[in-house]
Amino acid sequence: MLGFVEKLTGAIERNDSLLCVGLDPDHIAPGPASVEEQLVRWGVDIIEQTADLVCCYKPNFAFYEQYGPPGLSALRRIVAAAEQAGDIPVLLDAKRGDIGHTAAAYARAAFEVWGVDAITVSPYLGRDGVTPFLAHPGKMVFVLCYTSNPSAAEIQEFGPYPLYQLIARLGQTWGDGAQLGFVVGATQPTALARVRELAPDRWLLAPGVGAQGGDLAAALAAGLDARGRGVIVPASRAVAGAADPRQAALDLRDRINAHRIPSPARGGPWSGAAGGPGRGPSGLILALHDAGCIQFGEFTLASGKQSPIYVDLRRVASYPALLRQVADAYAALIRPLTFDCLAAVPYAALPIGAAVALQMDRPLVYPRKEAKAHGTGRAVEGVFAPGDTALVLEDVATSAGSLLRAIETLEAAGLTVRDAVVLLDREQGGPASLAARGYHLHAVLQMTEVLDVLRDEERISGEEHQTVVAYLGTVDRAR
Protein backbone atom coordinates (compact mmCIF):
# COMPACT_ATOMS: atom_id res chain seq x y z
CA MET A 1 0.00 0.00 0.00
CA LEU A 2 1.30 3.45 -0.90
CA GLY A 3 1.72 5.96 1.91
CA PHE A 4 0.36 9.50 1.90
CA VAL A 5 3.54 11.12 0.58
CA GLU A 6 3.91 8.53 -2.20
CA LYS A 7 0.29 9.04 -3.26
CA LEU A 8 0.63 12.81 -3.03
CA THR A 9 3.82 13.09 -5.06
CA GLY A 10 2.46 10.61 -7.61
CA ALA A 11 -0.71 12.70 -8.06
CA ILE A 12 1.34 15.91 -8.26
CA GLU A 13 3.42 14.47 -11.08
CA ARG A 14 0.52 12.85 -12.96
CA ASN A 15 -1.82 15.82 -12.73
CA ASP A 16 0.79 18.61 -12.58
CA SER A 17 -1.12 19.98 -9.63
CA LEU A 18 -0.80 21.26 -6.06
CA LEU A 19 -4.57 21.74 -5.83
CA CYS A 20 -6.47 19.95 -3.07
CA VAL A 21 -10.25 20.00 -3.44
CA GLY A 22 -12.25 20.20 -0.25
CA LEU A 23 -15.24 17.86 -0.13
CA ASP A 24 -17.46 19.78 2.30
CA PRO A 25 -21.21 19.33 1.73
CA ASP A 26 -22.44 22.44 3.51
CA HIS A 27 -26.12 21.80 2.77
CA ILE A 28 -28.11 18.97 1.25
CA ALA A 29 -31.59 19.89 0.10
CA PRO A 30 -34.45 17.51 0.92
CA GLY A 31 -35.16 15.11 -1.93
CA PRO A 32 -36.44 11.66 -2.81
CA ALA A 33 -33.07 10.01 -2.20
CA SER A 34 -31.74 9.40 1.30
CA VAL A 35 -29.28 11.83 2.86
CA GLU A 36 -26.51 9.27 2.54
CA GLU A 37 -27.16 8.71 -1.16
CA GLN A 38 -27.34 12.44 -1.86
CA LEU A 39 -24.04 13.01 -0.09
CA VAL A 40 -22.33 10.16 -1.91
CA ARG A 41 -23.71 11.27 -5.28
CA TRP A 42 -22.49 14.82 -4.61
CA GLY A 43 -19.01 13.72 -3.49
CA VAL A 44 -18.47 11.16 -6.26
CA ASP A 45 -19.57 13.72 -8.86
CA ILE A 46 -16.92 16.20 -7.64
CA ILE A 47 -14.28 13.46 -7.66
CA GLU A 48 -15.19 12.30 -11.17
CA GLN A 49 -14.95 15.87 -12.48
CA THR A 50 -11.63 16.70 -10.84
CA ALA A 51 -9.59 13.49 -10.35
CA ASP A 52 -7.15 14.42 -13.12
CA LEU A 53 -6.68 17.96 -11.79
CA VAL A 54 -5.87 17.51 -8.09
CA CYS A 55 -3.14 16.19 -5.82
CA CYS A 56 -5.40 15.49 -2.87
CA TYR A 57 -8.97 15.57 -1.50
CA LYS A 58 -9.83 17.05 1.89
CA PRO A 59 -13.20 16.26 3.46
CA ASN A 60 -13.99 18.13 6.68
CA PHE A 61 -15.36 15.69 9.24
CA ALA A 62 -17.89 18.19 10.61
CA PHE A 63 -19.80 18.43 7.34
CA TYR A 64 -20.53 14.69 7.50
CA GLU A 65 -20.96 14.39 11.24
CA GLN A 66 -23.76 16.98 11.13
CA TYR A 67 -25.92 14.42 9.31
CA GLY A 68 -25.37 11.70 11.91
CA PRO A 69 -24.82 8.03 10.92
CA PRO A 70 -25.93 8.57 7.28
CA GLY A 71 -23.32 11.32 6.90
CA LEU A 72 -20.56 9.19 8.38
CA SER A 73 -21.47 6.26 6.18
CA ALA A 74 -21.34 8.60 3.20
CA LEU A 75 -17.89 9.80 4.24
CA ARG A 76 -16.51 6.28 4.17
CA ARG A 77 -17.92 5.69 0.69
CA ILE A 78 -16.57 9.00 -0.62
CA VAL A 79 -13.08 8.22 0.72
CA ALA A 80 -13.22 4.87 -1.10
CA ALA A 81 -14.30 6.63 -4.29
CA ALA A 82 -11.23 8.88 -4.14
CA GLU A 83 -9.03 5.80 -3.75
CA GLN A 84 -10.67 4.16 -6.76
CA ALA A 85 -10.18 7.32 -8.82
CA GLY A 86 -6.46 6.62 -9.07
CA ASP A 87 -4.58 6.69 -5.76
CA ILE A 88 -5.59 10.25 -4.93
CA PRO A 89 -4.77 10.67 -1.21
CA VAL A 90 -7.46 11.81 1.22
CA LEU A 91 -6.65 14.21 4.05
CA LEU A 92 -9.32 14.29 6.76
CA ASP A 93 -9.75 17.78 8.20
CA ALA A 94 -10.73 16.84 11.77
CA LYS A 95 -8.35 18.94 13.93
CA ARG A 96 -8.17 16.24 16.59
CA GLY A 97 -6.31 16.94 19.83
CA ASP A 98 -6.49 15.04 23.11
CA ILE A 99 -4.42 13.07 25.63
CA GLY A 100 -2.46 10.07 24.38
CA HIS A 101 -5.02 7.30 25.06
CA THR A 102 -7.82 9.26 23.42
CA ALA A 103 -5.59 10.44 20.57
CA ALA A 104 -4.78 6.79 19.82
CA ALA A 105 -8.50 6.10 19.46
CA TYR A 106 -8.93 9.11 17.16
CA ALA A 107 -6.01 7.83 15.06
CA ARG A 108 -7.52 4.36 14.71
CA ALA A 109 -10.84 5.89 13.69
CA ALA A 110 -9.24 8.09 11.03
CA PHE A 111 -6.89 5.55 9.52
CA GLU A 112 -8.60 2.22 10.11
CA VAL A 113 -12.32 3.09 10.07
CA TRP A 114 -12.56 6.01 7.67
CA GLY A 115 -9.53 4.87 5.70
CA VAL A 116 -7.95 8.28 5.11
CA ASP A 117 -4.26 8.87 4.40
CA ALA A 118 -3.69 11.95 6.54
CA ILE A 119 -5.39 14.06 9.20
CA THR A 120 -5.16 17.53 10.72
CA VAL A 121 -4.25 17.58 14.42
CA SER A 122 -4.07 20.27 17.12
CA PRO A 123 -0.71 20.48 18.95
CA TYR A 124 -2.14 22.21 22.02
CA LEU A 125 -1.57 19.15 24.22
CA GLY A 126 2.02 18.81 23.04
CA ARG A 127 3.79 15.71 21.82
CA ASP A 128 1.38 13.36 23.67
CA GLY A 129 -1.54 14.43 21.52
CA VAL A 130 0.30 13.97 18.22
CA THR A 131 2.54 10.90 18.44
CA PRO A 132 -0.30 8.32 18.52
CA PHE A 133 -1.16 9.41 14.97
CA LEU A 134 2.45 8.84 13.90
CA ALA A 135 2.32 5.18 14.94
CA HIS A 136 0.47 4.28 11.72
CA PRO A 137 2.99 3.58 8.92
CA GLY A 138 2.47 5.54 5.73
CA LYS A 139 -0.02 7.95 7.31
CA MET A 140 0.62 11.65 7.80
CA VAL A 141 -0.32 14.33 10.30
CA PHE A 142 -0.71 18.03 9.52
CA VAL A 143 -0.25 19.96 12.74
CA LEU A 144 -2.11 23.25 13.14
CA CYS A 145 0.60 25.91 13.13
CA TYR A 146 -0.90 29.24 11.98
CA THR A 147 -4.50 28.92 10.91
CA SER A 148 -6.32 31.01 8.31
CA ASN A 149 -9.11 32.43 10.50
CA PRO A 150 -9.17 36.19 11.36
CA SER A 151 -8.53 35.81 15.12
CA ALA A 152 -5.65 33.32 14.79
CA ALA A 153 -3.09 35.91 15.86
CA GLU A 154 -4.68 36.24 19.33
CA ILE A 155 -3.18 32.87 20.26
CA GLN A 156 -0.74 31.86 17.56
CA GLU A 157 1.39 35.01 17.69
CA PHE A 158 1.33 35.23 21.48
CA GLY A 159 4.58 35.70 23.37
CA PRO A 160 7.98 37.22 22.63
CA TYR A 161 8.70 34.12 20.57
CA PRO A 162 5.46 33.48 18.65
CA LEU A 163 3.66 30.25 19.47
CA TYR A 164 3.35 29.22 15.82
CA GLN A 165 7.14 29.34 15.43
CA LEU A 166 7.58 27.16 18.51
CA ILE A 167 5.17 24.65 16.98
CA ALA A 168 7.10 24.68 13.70
CA ARG A 169 10.33 23.93 15.55
CA LEU A 170 9.06 21.35 18.04
CA GLY A 171 6.87 19.57 15.52
CA GLN A 172 9.92 18.55 13.53
CA THR A 173 11.24 16.66 16.54
CA TRP A 174 8.02 14.62 16.78
CA GLY A 175 8.09 13.04 13.32
CA ASP A 176 10.00 13.08 10.05
CA GLY A 177 9.02 14.70 6.76
CA ALA A 178 6.97 11.69 5.67
CA GLN A 179 4.98 11.72 8.92
CA LEU A 180 4.36 15.32 9.87
CA GLY A 181 3.66 18.58 8.08
CA PHE A 182 2.10 21.87 9.12
CA VAL A 183 -1.10 23.83 8.50
CA VAL A 184 -0.28 27.47 7.73
CA GLY A 185 -3.00 29.67 6.28
CA ALA A 186 -2.59 31.21 2.84
CA THR A 187 -4.04 34.32 4.51
CA GLN A 188 -0.77 34.56 6.49
CA PRO A 189 2.06 34.85 3.91
CA THR A 190 4.52 36.24 6.44
CA ALA A 191 3.95 33.25 8.72
CA LEU A 192 4.15 30.93 5.70
CA ALA A 193 7.56 32.34 4.82
CA ARG A 194 8.79 31.96 8.39
CA VAL A 195 7.56 28.37 8.70
CA ARG A 196 9.14 27.48 5.35
CA GLU A 197 12.36 29.01 6.70
CA LEU A 198 12.12 26.97 9.90
CA ALA A 199 10.96 23.78 8.16
CA PRO A 200 12.54 23.72 4.70
CA ASP A 201 11.67 20.08 3.96
CA ARG A 202 8.11 19.85 5.33
CA TRP A 203 4.80 19.73 3.49
CA LEU A 204 2.60 22.72 4.25
CA LEU A 205 -1.19 22.71 3.95
CA ALA A 206 -2.17 26.30 3.14
CA PRO A 207 -5.96 26.86 3.44
CA GLY A 208 -7.55 30.23 2.85
CA VAL A 209 -7.37 30.74 -0.93
CA GLY A 210 -10.78 31.53 -2.36
CA ALA A 211 -13.64 32.36 -0.01
CA GLN A 212 -11.28 33.44 2.82
CA GLY A 213 -9.44 35.87 0.55
CA GLY A 214 -5.89 34.52 0.74
CA ASP A 215 -3.45 35.94 -1.82
CA LEU A 216 -2.44 32.93 -3.92
CA ALA A 217 0.67 34.52 -5.41
CA ALA A 218 1.94 35.74 -2.04
CA ALA A 219 1.22 32.40 -0.35
CA LEU A 220 3.08 30.41 -2.99
CA ALA A 221 6.02 32.82 -3.08
CA ALA A 222 6.31 32.37 0.68
CA GLY A 223 5.71 28.65 0.95
CA LEU A 224 7.03 26.79 -2.08
CA ASP A 225 10.17 24.75 -1.57
CA ALA A 226 13.27 24.58 -3.76
CA ARG A 227 11.50 22.27 -6.25
CA GLY A 228 8.45 24.48 -6.64
CA ARG A 229 6.44 22.07 -4.46
CA GLY A 230 5.96 21.61 -0.73
CA VAL A 231 2.62 23.44 -0.52
CA ILE A 232 -0.82 21.84 -0.78
CA VAL A 233 -3.44 24.45 -1.73
CA PRO A 234 -6.94 23.41 -0.60
CA ALA A 235 -10.08 24.97 -2.02
CA SER A 236 -13.57 23.87 -1.06
CA ARG A 237 -16.34 26.33 -1.84
CA ALA A 238 -14.36 27.85 -4.72
CA VAL A 239 -14.49 24.48 -6.54
CA ALA A 240 -17.22 22.28 -5.09
CA GLY A 241 -19.60 25.22 -4.82
CA ALA A 242 -18.97 26.49 -8.35
CA ALA A 243 -21.51 26.15 -11.13
CA ASP A 244 -18.90 24.18 -13.10
CA PRO A 245 -16.58 22.45 -10.57
CA ARG A 246 -14.28 21.03 -13.24
CA GLN A 247 -13.67 24.39 -14.87
CA ALA A 248 -13.15 26.02 -11.48
CA ALA A 249 -10.60 23.34 -10.54
CA LEU A 250 -8.84 23.65 -13.91
CA ASP A 251 -8.61 27.44 -13.59
CA LEU A 252 -7.27 27.28 -10.05
CA ARG A 253 -4.75 24.56 -10.86
CA ASP A 254 -3.41 26.64 -13.74
CA ARG A 255 -3.21 29.75 -11.56
CA ILE A 256 -1.21 27.78 -9.00
CA ASN A 257 1.13 26.42 -11.67
CA ALA A 258 1.81 29.92 -12.95
CA HIS A 259 3.54 30.63 -9.65
CA ARG A 260 5.41 27.32 -9.26
CA ILE A 261 8.89 28.61 -10.01
CA PRO A 262 11.62 26.65 -8.22
CA SER A 263 14.22 28.74 -6.42
CA PRO A 264 17.52 27.59 -4.87
CA ALA A 265 17.04 30.29 -2.23
CA ARG A 266 13.88 28.68 -0.86
CA GLY A 267 13.94 26.62 2.28
CA GLY A 268 15.59 29.17 4.59
CA PRO A 269 19.04 30.69 4.64
CA TRP A 270 20.61 27.34 5.54
CA SER A 271 18.80 25.30 2.87
CA GLY A 272 22.10 24.08 1.46
CA ALA A 273 23.69 23.44 4.82
CA ALA A 274 23.67 19.68 4.48
CA GLY A 275 25.90 19.89 1.41
CA GLY A 276 25.43 19.18 -2.26
CA PRO A 277 24.99 21.37 -5.33
CA GLY A 278 24.12 24.99 -4.77
CA ARG A 279 25.45 25.00 -1.25
CA GLY A 280 25.64 28.57 0.05
CA PRO A 281 23.19 29.84 2.69
CA SER A 282 23.70 33.50 1.83
CA GLY A 283 21.01 34.82 4.21
CA LEU A 284 22.82 33.42 7.23
CA ILE A 285 26.21 34.62 6.01
CA LEU A 286 24.96 38.17 5.50
CA ALA A 287 23.27 38.17 8.91
CA LEU A 288 26.54 37.10 10.55
CA HIS A 289 28.41 39.83 8.71
CA ASP A 290 25.81 42.43 9.73
CA ALA A 291 26.31 41.43 13.39
CA GLY A 292 30.08 41.86 13.17
CA CYS A 293 30.74 38.16 13.53
CA ILE A 294 32.93 38.16 10.41
CA GLN A 295 35.56 40.91 10.24
CA PHE A 296 38.41 41.72 7.88
CA GLY A 297 41.77 43.32 8.67
CA GLU A 298 44.90 42.12 10.50
CA PHE A 299 44.24 39.87 13.48
CA THR A 300 46.34 37.70 15.80
CA LEU A 301 44.75 34.31 16.44
CA ALA A 302 44.94 32.30 19.66
CA SER A 303 47.72 30.29 18.03
CA GLY A 304 49.76 33.48 17.63
CA LYS A 305 49.44 33.37 13.84
CA GLN A 306 48.30 36.37 11.80
CA SER A 307 45.05 36.26 9.85
CA PRO A 308 43.32 38.71 7.45
CA ILE A 309 39.92 37.52 8.70
CA TYR A 310 38.48 37.13 12.19
CA VAL A 311 35.36 35.20 13.16
CA ASP A 312 33.77 36.18 16.48
CA LEU A 313 30.67 34.06 17.06
CA ARG A 314 30.44 35.11 20.72
CA ARG A 315 28.49 38.07 19.35
CA VAL A 316 25.67 35.80 18.12
CA ALA A 317 24.13 35.56 21.62
CA SER A 318 23.56 39.35 21.63
CA TYR A 319 21.20 39.11 18.65
CA PRO A 320 18.18 36.88 19.50
CA ALA A 321 16.93 36.65 15.91
CA LEU A 322 20.39 35.68 14.68
CA LEU A 323 20.77 33.15 17.51
CA ARG A 324 17.52 31.50 16.39
CA GLN A 325 18.74 31.49 12.81
CA VAL A 326 22.04 29.91 13.82
CA ALA A 327 20.28 27.32 15.99
CA ASP A 328 18.05 26.41 13.05
CA ALA A 329 21.09 25.96 10.83
CA TYR A 330 22.71 23.61 13.32
CA ALA A 331 19.44 21.70 13.79
CA ALA A 332 19.04 21.16 10.04
CA LEU A 333 22.50 19.60 9.91
CA ILE A 334 22.12 17.62 13.13
CA ARG A 335 18.71 16.08 12.54
CA PRO A 336 19.92 13.02 10.54
CA LEU A 337 22.64 12.17 13.10
CA THR A 338 22.29 9.70 15.97
CA PHE A 339 23.10 10.86 19.51
CA ASP A 340 21.82 10.88 23.09
CA CYS A 341 22.84 14.38 24.12
CA LEU A 342 24.41 17.57 22.81
CA ALA A 343 27.77 18.68 24.20
CA ALA A 344 28.64 22.35 23.69
CA VAL A 345 32.28 23.48 23.88
CA PRO A 346 32.76 26.56 26.10
CA TYR A 347 32.50 29.40 25.61
CA ALA A 348 31.11 30.64 22.29
CA ALA A 349 29.21 27.42 21.60
CA LEU A 350 27.44 27.35 24.98
CA PRO A 351 24.60 29.79 24.16
CA ILE A 352 24.35 28.25 20.69
CA GLY A 353 24.16 24.78 22.22
CA ALA A 354 21.43 25.90 24.62
CA ALA A 355 19.41 27.32 21.72
CA VAL A 356 19.81 24.13 19.69
CA ALA A 357 18.87 21.98 22.69
CA LEU A 358 15.70 24.01 23.23
CA GLN A 359 14.79 23.87 19.56
CA MET A 360 15.35 20.10 19.29
CA ASP A 361 14.16 19.22 22.80
CA ARG A 362 17.40 17.32 23.48
CA PRO A 363 19.58 17.30 26.64
CA LEU A 364 22.72 19.44 26.80
CA VAL A 365 26.00 18.84 28.65
CA TYR A 366 29.31 20.66 28.43
CA PRO A 367 32.95 19.85 29.19
CA ARG A 368 34.63 22.31 31.52
CA LYS A 369 37.70 24.18 30.27
CA GLU A 370 39.28 24.15 33.69
CA ALA A 371 39.41 21.61 36.50
CA LYS A 372 36.80 22.19 39.21
CA ALA A 373 38.38 22.00 42.66
CA HIS A 374 35.15 22.50 44.60
CA GLY A 375 31.59 21.15 44.70
CA THR A 376 31.19 17.93 42.74
CA GLY A 377 34.51 18.29 40.94
CA ARG A 378 32.90 17.17 37.68
CA ALA A 379 34.76 17.66 34.42
CA VAL A 380 31.53 17.45 32.43
CA GLU A 381 28.47 19.36 33.61
CA GLY A 382 24.96 18.08 32.99
CA VAL A 383 23.06 14.82 33.24
CA PHE A 384 24.15 11.79 31.23
CA ALA A 385 24.79 8.07 31.59
CA PRO A 386 28.08 6.27 30.87
CA GLY A 387 28.05 5.08 27.28
CA ASP A 388 25.70 7.82 26.04
CA THR A 389 26.64 9.26 22.66
CA ALA A 390 27.42 12.98 22.72
CA LEU A 391 27.21 15.14 19.61
CA VAL A 392 29.79 17.89 20.08
CA LEU A 393 28.92 21.46 19.10
CA GLU A 394 31.62 24.10 18.50
CA ASP A 395 31.38 27.50 16.88
CA VAL A 396 34.42 27.45 14.55
CA ALA A 397 36.88 24.78 13.45
CA THR A 398 40.40 25.88 12.58
CA SER A 399 42.85 23.11 13.37
CA ALA A 400 40.25 21.46 15.65
CA GLY A 401 42.51 21.55 18.70
CA SER A 402 39.76 22.80 21.02
CA LEU A 403 37.38 20.18 19.68
CA LEU A 404 39.83 17.37 20.31
CA ARG A 405 40.50 18.58 23.87
CA ALA A 406 36.75 18.75 24.54
CA ILE A 407 36.26 15.24 23.12
CA GLU A 408 39.02 13.90 25.36
CA THR A 409 37.24 15.35 28.40
CA LEU A 410 33.88 13.94 27.33
CA GLU A 411 35.28 10.48 26.65
CA ALA A 412 37.18 10.45 29.94
CA ALA A 413 33.83 11.02 31.65
CA GLY A 414 32.36 7.93 29.95
CA LEU A 415 30.63 9.49 26.94
CA THR A 416 30.99 8.23 23.37
CA VAL A 417 31.73 10.72 20.57
CA ARG A 418 31.44 10.10 16.84
CA ASP A 419 30.47 13.46 15.34
CA ALA A 420 31.14 17.16 15.83
CA VAL A 421 29.25 20.07 14.28
CA VAL A 422 30.50 23.62 13.74
CA LEU A 423 28.92 26.69 12.25
CA LEU A 424 32.05 27.56 10.27
CA ASP A 425 34.97 25.49 9.03
CA ARG A 426 37.89 27.84 8.38
CA GLU A 427 39.30 25.14 6.05
CA GLN A 428 42.58 25.05 7.93
CA GLY A 429 42.84 21.35 8.70
CA GLY A 430 39.99 20.76 11.15
CA PRO A 431 38.19 17.91 9.33
CA ALA A 432 41.45 16.06 8.66
CA SER A 433 42.59 16.40 12.28
CA LEU A 434 39.33 14.92 13.54
CA ALA A 435 39.21 12.20 10.88
CA ALA A 436 42.70 11.06 11.90
CA ARG A 437 41.26 10.35 15.35
CA GLY A 438 38.14 8.63 14.04
CA TYR A 439 35.66 11.53 14.29
CA HIS A 440 33.59 13.20 11.58
CA LEU A 441 33.21 16.97 11.31
CA HIS A 442 30.01 18.50 9.91
CA ALA A 443 30.05 22.23 9.04
CA VAL A 444 27.13 24.50 8.26
CA LEU A 445 29.42 26.91 6.40
CA GLN A 446 32.80 26.72 4.68
CA MET A 447 35.09 29.74 4.73
CA THR A 448 35.36 29.86 0.94
CA GLU A 449 31.59 30.04 0.48
CA VAL A 450 31.42 32.82 3.09
CA LEU A 451 33.98 34.78 1.12
CA ASP A 452 32.21 34.16 -2.18
CA VAL A 453 28.86 35.39 -0.84
CA LEU A 454 30.37 38.53 0.74
CA ARG A 455 32.20 39.34 -2.49
CA ASP A 456 29.14 38.70 -4.67
CA GLU A 457 27.02 40.89 -2.39
CA GLU A 458 29.74 43.60 -2.51
CA ARG A 459 30.35 43.40 1.23
CA ILE A 460 34.09 42.98 0.53
CA SER A 461 36.18 43.96 -2.45
CA GLY A 462 37.67 41.57 -4.93
CA GLU A 463 41.09 42.39 -3.49
CA GLU A 464 39.99 41.47 0.06
CA HIS A 465 38.50 38.26 -1.28
CA GLN A 466 41.74 37.33 -3.04
CA THR A 467 43.81 38.17 0.05
CA VAL A 468 41.89 35.79 2.29
CA VAL A 469 41.70 33.06 -0.36
CA ALA A 470 45.47 33.31 -0.84
CA TYR A 471 45.93 33.13 2.95
CA LEU A 472 43.81 29.98 3.11
CA GLY A 473 45.78 28.47 0.24
CA THR A 474 49.07 29.20 2.01
CA VAL A 475 47.80 27.55 5.16
CA ASP A 476 46.60 24.56 3.13
CA ARG A 477 50.01 24.12 1.49
CA ALA A 478 51.69 24.34 4.88
CA ARG A 479 49.79 21.32 6.24
Tens digits of residue pLDDT in 298-337: 988 766 778 899 999 999 999 888 898 899 889 888 888 8
Q: Per-residue pLDDT for 280 more than 70?
A: no
308 in Cβ contact with 467 (< 8 Å): yes
Sign of the CA dihedral running 351, 355, 358, 361: negative
pLDDT range class, residue 277, cuts 50, 70, 90: very low
How far is the C-alpha of 105 from the C-alpha of 313, rounded, in Å?
Answer: 48
d(CA 38, CA 79): 15
CATH assignment of 282-478? 3.40.50.2020
CA dihedral (272, 277, 280, 283) positive or negative: negative
Quote the mean pLDDT of the chain. 88
Query: What's the confidence (pLDDT) of residue 382?
Result: 95
* Phi, psi (deg, nearest 5) at residue 388: -60, 150
**Which residues does 221 contact at the CB level (< 8 Å), separation at least 6?**
189, 259
pLDDT number for residue 273: 33
Q: Rounded to the nearest 10 degrees, how much is the dihedral formed by the CA atoms of 440, 445, 449, 453? A: 170
Q: What is the CATH number of domain 4-257?
A: 3.20.20.70
| Residue 340, Ramachandran bin (φ over 0: left; ψ between -120 and 50: alpha; else beta) | alpha
How far apart (Å, rounded) are the C-alpha atoms in residues 113 and 173? 28
The region of weakest confidence among 1-10, 25-34, 83-92, 256-265 is: 256-265
Termini Cα distance of the chain: 55
Render pLDDT for 48-98 as a digit per residue (tens, 0 to 9). 999 999 999 999 999 999 999 999 999 999 999 998 888 899 999 999 999
Residues of the chain with CATH 3.40.50.2020: 282-478
Q: How many helices (H) and strands (E) does the chain have?
A: 19, 16
Residues of the chain with CATH 3.20.20.70: 4-257
Arithmetic mean of pLDDT, 399-418: 94
Q: Which residues are catalytic?
A: 95
Task: Report the pLDDT value the prediction gives residue 474, as an integer from 0 to 100.
Answer: 64
Look up the pTM and report it: 0.58
Reported as a pLDDT band with limits 50, 70 and 90, residue 278 is very low
What pLDDT, in 10s, does the model give residues 138-174? Answer: 999 999 999 988 898 889 888 777 899 999 999 999 9
